[in-house]
Amino acid sequence: MLLRWTGIPDARILGDADGLPANTQLAADMRGRAEHCLRKLNRIAKGDEAEPFGWDAASAARLDEVCDRILLTRPDAGTIEQASAEIGSYLGELIVRNSASWWVYDADAEAAGVVTVWRHRFFPHSRVGKRLAHGRRQPHIPFLLALASTHSLRVFYETIVSGRMPPDAKITPRDAP
């Protein structure tokens, strides 16, 4: 079965007085997109007679397989963008539900992100986009480093939820909203 990523719910977010999305509105929008993605993943899992997806770490670990299946279809840029929006919302909501974190709008990045109590900000949509654009490995790095550096969504999830950052992680602390 080919994966088709269409029909993303309306992504418009009403802004606050500054024209920026209010975090409560953003969180509700991301939850809605995540639930939409979850329903889609479960329809696919049911057709494949696989375990259903849910809101647990095991479901996050299976997202790399979902990306691999999408890549087998040789998706165009539009499909990658749609899949990044849907899967990124689901991945972000998994992080929010399983760690001390919440959705925020980052005005500098002009993107939705997840911020932790440790004041680290992460961008799940961007991570999924990189995973779909580059596969599992980062481009342009030597072979031995490629074994340790990946765009793995499982590693991304586990790193954030555990709060244990790799020593080479590039982290920009920000004030909590």
In a domain, 33, yes or no: yes
In a domain, 113, yes or no: yes
In a domain, 11, yes or no: no
- Tell me the torsion sign for CA atoms 40, 83, 116, 64: positive
Determine the average pLDDT of the residues in 102-119. 88
Q: What percentage of the chain exceeds 70 in pLDDT?
A: 72
- Number of continuous H segments (helices) and E segments (strands) in the chain: 7, 3
Domain count, the chain: 1
Integer Cα distance of 51 and 58 in angstroms:
10
Is pLDDT larger for residue 1 or for residue 80?
80
Q: What angle do CA 144, 149, 139 make, to 5 degrees?
A: 85
Which residues contact residue 116 at a Cβ distance below 8 angstroms, ignoring those fewer than 6 apart?
A: 99, 100, 101, 122, 160, 163
The pLDDT, as a whole number, for residue 49 is 85
The pLDDT, as a whole number, for residue 20 is 45
The pLDDT, as a whole number, for residue 144 is 38
In a domain, 1, yes or no: no
Which residues form the domain of 53? 23-162
